[in-house]
Amino acid sequence: MPLRNTILTLLLITAVHNFVYSSGLPRSDSGTVVIDLQNASDRQSRIDSIYLIFDRYDKRGAGIIKQVYYPKNNQVEITVPKGRYYVNIYCLGIYNRAGFDRTILVKPTRKLRIFLKLQASALFTPGMVEIPHEKWDPAHLAIMQSHASK
């Protein structure tokens, strides 16, 4: 009987340990990074998605995180191990030309907030494109240069 109780106790401890560490609960050696994307012109419009790359500062782990995230309320919250990181943030969708590079320090059981301001983006409207006038001289064409040198 004591052997059965010991086995059941160990099984219960193992199950609880696996549940805690397999769920999204932060560990004591990790911190939380919150990336807040702010629109310059319209604070109500939603950011489609962003591509994040976290690299360790001391080059021990290249690409700890390489993933596309879909922000909720223009925020992304990530739990990462403590340490210093290079962070590359690339916006996708309407803000596809926006990219940011930061060096951050994540402390255990702390929340680090990164505020990023996006430039105003203009949507393409058919018929409203303005192509700048370009001057060109046919005498500068390559075919004209080859005939002139003969």
pLDDT at 65: 77
Q: What CATH code is carried by the domain that includes residue 79?
A: 2.60.40.10
Q: Which of 35, 41, 36, 131 is nearest to 94 (CA)?
A: 41
Tokens 């005939």 identify what position? 147
The reply to whether 48 falls in a domain is: yes
The reply to whether 145 falls in a domain is: no
CB 26 within 8 A of CB 79: yes
pLDDT at 96: 62
The reply to whether 95 falls in a domain is: yes
Secondary structure letter of residue 119 according to DSSP:
P
Q: What is the residue range of 41's domain?
A: 27-118
Structural domains in the chain (count): 1
The reply to whether 10 falls in a domain is: no
Point out the least confidently predicted range of 3-7, 23-27, 91-95, 145-149: 23-27
pLDDT per residue over 50-96, tens digit each? 888 888 888 776 667 788 998 888 889 988 888 899 988 888 876 66
The reply to whether 148 falls in a domain is: no
Rounded CA-CA distance 50/79 in Å is 16
pLDDT per residue over 15-53, tens digit each? 777 766 655 555 578 899 998 887 766 656 677 888 888
The reply to whether 85 falls in a domain is: yes
The reply to whether 110 falls in a domain is: yes
pLDDT per residue over 112-136, tens digit each? 998 888 766 555 566 666 666 777 7
